[in-house]
């Protein structure tokens, strides 16, 4: 009986060591990371009631898309961004933001860009911001955010 118990304890100990010493995976690195903080900051921004007034077309009715969305969004969170309209930086929300300190920049997407997405990257973090034209949704949120941690220069698995 003691032999069986000793084998059971050894097996349990061995299993816990494998879990404890396994290599860190990218998905494990997300929780509590700067990438998670950046996603939260963007989500908070997208949930503002007047989002289309600042990131919408001239009438404030339709969401911006693609390069125009990226340019305007970067101007909102990075006060050092080039070619921005005066007053476009949102100091209240983005002062000291991870998006600013980690220097998130526009990244390329497929030539056809059928999603009309804006892609931002910083090191291993890739963010896709996709405009949503379905105004029947309740509540209507004009942008969807998708992100992942991926080796530099690669796309997220869900983009394939």
Domain ranges of the chain: 26-152
Contacts for 123 with CB less than 8 Å, ≥ 6 apart: 102, 152
pLDDT at 19: 47
160 residues of the chain, pLDDT tens digit each: 666 665 556 656 555 544 444 455 555 678 888 999 999 989 888 887 777 776 766 666 778 888 888 888 888 888 788 888 887 888 887 888 888 888 888 887 665 667 788 999 988 899 999 888 777 776 777 888 999 988 777 888 888 7
- For the chain, state the CA radius of gyration: 21
> CA–CA distance from 43 to each of 58, 93, 115, 138 (Å)?
23, 12, 19, 17
pLDDT at 138: 67
pLDDT at 13: 57
pLDDT at 18: 47
Q: What is the pTM of this model?
A: 0.73
CB atoms within 10 A of CB 82: 8
């Amino acid at each position: 009986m003691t032999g069986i118990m000793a084998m059971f304890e050894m097996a349990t100990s061995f299993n816990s060591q494998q879990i404890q010493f396994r290599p860190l995976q990218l998905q494990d690195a997300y929780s509590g990371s700067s990438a998670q903080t950046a996603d939260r900051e963007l989500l908070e921004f997208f949930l503002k009631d007047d989002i289309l007034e600042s990131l919408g077309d001239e009438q404030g009715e339709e969401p911006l898309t693609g390069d125009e969305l990226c340019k305007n969004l970067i101007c909102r969170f990075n006060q050092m961004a080039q070619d921005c309209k005066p007053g476009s930086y949102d100091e209240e929300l983005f002062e000291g933001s991870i998006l600013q300190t980690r220097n998130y920049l526009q990244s390329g997407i497929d030539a056809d860009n059928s999603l009309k997405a804006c892609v931002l990257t910083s090191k291993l973090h890739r963010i896709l911001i996709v405009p949503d034209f379905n105004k029947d949704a309740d509540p209507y949120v004009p942008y969807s955010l998708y992100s992942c941690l991926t080796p530099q220069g690669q796309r997220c698995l869900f983009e394939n």
